[in-house]
Amino acid sequence: MTSAHRWTTAGEEFVRLLTTEYDNDGALHWPTVIAATACLCGETALMAHESRVPEFGSVESTKVADFMHNGEATNRTILGYCAAIAKEAFNVEVEHLPPYRDVVQSLGLQLLPGSFPALSVAAHVMPHETPMNAGPRLRKTVYEIASREGLGMNDASFALATAAMKMIGTAQDLGVRDLTILVQQCCVAGSRFAPTLALVANPAFRRNESQPTQAITAPVLKTVEEAPRIPAAAAVAAVLSSGDGAGLGKRR
């Protein structure tokens, strides 16, 4: 099975998972759910490459940075993959996206009050809830889906990136470039900050039920992972360009 097919198949499951979790009486605030998906992508990448992380603060890891952006083949990294989809599906040039180094610098070394990353995004795509909450809400289910689909942690990260870019296709009237920048920053935030153990309360966001705290333990997913390839981004972009998977929910 090709990378594109595996990431798209699991990505569709992740879209359903995230949109259901963040549904608010039949409406979705797309920037919030897209940011959450991207943050889970970054967190999964972090746990794939670092078995020990601090309880709080930032995580400096060459292995994670290489996987996210700094690898020798940029198009085999998470941000390179997202940028390739943005270009091929939505005609967003990579030159119009912030460089990785700028994203890292803008995020800084610690989260803001309320565990919000220091996002530098347009006001209309600012999440209503910290995307760091996606971990305690859904990481266990993400691992279960990845295991069921036969995905290792690296592939699970790419499947979550696929899900985020599919959501952009649905919410593109908010501005594909602005949403892609949001995805970039939240992917990096998830990969650079210690995973959140417990939900951070947001009085503006109503939840139907509380979620218990989940321990941060990366599962052992025994599968041989293919090296990411740019044709995978092209294949996913082709699906998005065709409009397949649109109409996932209502914006508010």
Residue 191 contacts by C-beta under 8 Å, 6 or more apart in sequence? 42, 43, 45, 46, 59, 64, 67, 68, 78
Domain residue ranges of the chain, discontinuous segments joined by +: 3-203+210-241
Confidence (pLDDT) at 27: 87
Q: What is the pLDDT of residues 144-174, one digit of tens each?
A: 999 999 999 999 999 999 999 999 999 999 9
Confidence (pLDDT) at 84: 92
Confidence (pLDDT) at 23: 93
Residue where the block lists tokens 């390839």: 229
Confidence (pLDDT) at 75: 59
Q: What is the pLDDT of residues 55-87, one digit of tens each?
A: 888 999 999 999 999 755 555 899 999 999 999
Which residue type sits at 169?
G
Query: Tokens standing for 18?
Result: 């995230």
Query: What are the residue ranges in the chain where pLDDT is below 70?
Result: 1-2, 71-75, 202-252
First to last CA, the chain: 37
